[in-house]
Amino acid sequence: MGTLQPDLLAISLAPVIVILVYIFIRDKYEKEPIGLLLKALLSGGLITIPVMLVNGLLTKFTSLFSGYIQVGYVAFVVAGLTEEAFKFLALYLLIWKNRAFNERFDGIVYGVFVSLGFAAVENLMYVYHYGHQTGIIRALTAVPAHAIFGIAMGYYFGLARLEKDKRYHYMIRALWIPVLLHGIYDFILMSQHPLYLLIFIPFLFYLWKSGFKKMRILNEKSIFKNRS
């Protein structure tokens, strides 16, 4: 990454900080412990190490495929499955049995903090390697996308924690839906096909809309709980 450049550091971390503050504010009824949130953020950053190791291993099999099948393998397996599986593992180990995890919306909070811990490290590597323009583009695309993958994971994680009759169903969704969204995101970009690239912005809007909807739903559940 070379010498520390404050401008690149700022452009790398600013979108992460903005989203984290927003998610923290949206948790209206019982703020999560700052120490636990920092652990979630740190754990997200630390999983970049095993993710890079597994990515390197899986990349060796890329030559077995060709064309869009190869692109799909890299997007959904090398990137999507590997990254989201380690995020899921970090989230589970950190909060599943923690007493602070007592609201459905808490799943979203911790899911986003883990996801953006990973995104922060990834963003630093990309921005220091490719420069300011990459930082600006990723601030509007990749970083919010990682946050929304975290929202999707945390949404179902929260439901699984407090709705025991459907726990297995929600836990499965907490993993495969972020993998699916992440895979589609990467596939569109990696394909470089004009038709696919044409739907990239609409897909981003869909991600944002679905993320806000999930937060609204769990906030409404919390409102009902606190009023009852």
| pLDDT one digit per residue (tens) for the chain, 228 residues | 456 688 888 999 999 999 999 999 998 878 899 999 999 999 999 999 999 999 999 999 999 999 999 999 999 999 999 999 999 999 999 999 999 998 999 999 999 999 999 999 999 999 988 988 998 999 999 999 999 999 999 999 999 988 888 999 999 999 999 999 999 999 999 998 888 888 998 999 999 999 999 999 888 776 545 444
pLDDT of residue 224: 46
The whole-angstrom separation of Cα 48 and Cα 14 is 19
pLDDT of residue 227: 45
pLDDT of residue 228: 43
pLDDT of residue 183: 97
- CA 21 from chain centre, in angstroms, equals 15
At position 20, the amino acid (one-letter code) is: L
pLDDT of residue 174: 97
> Is the Cα dihedral 44, 45, 46, 51 positive or negative?
positive
pLDDT of residue 4: 63
pLDDT of residue 194: 84
The whole-angstrom separation of Cα 220 and Cα 90 is 27
Q: What is the pLDDT of residues 144-154, one digit of tens each?
A: 999 999 999 99
Closest CA to 214 of 104, 88, 91, 118: 104
Furthest-apart CA atoms within the chain: distance in Å? 58
Task: Classify 99 as helix, strand or coil.
Answer: coil
Cα-based distances in Å from 51 to 25, 144, 211, 216: 30, 20, 24, 31
Q: What is the pLDDT of residues 92-130, one digit of tens each?
A: 999 999 999 989 999 999 999 999 999 999 999 999 889
The whole-angstrom separation of Cα 62 and Cα 77 is 10
> Is the Cα dihedral 136, 140, 142, 144 positive or negative?
positive
- Residue 94 burial (CB count, 10 A): 19
Domain boundaries, the chain: 6-222
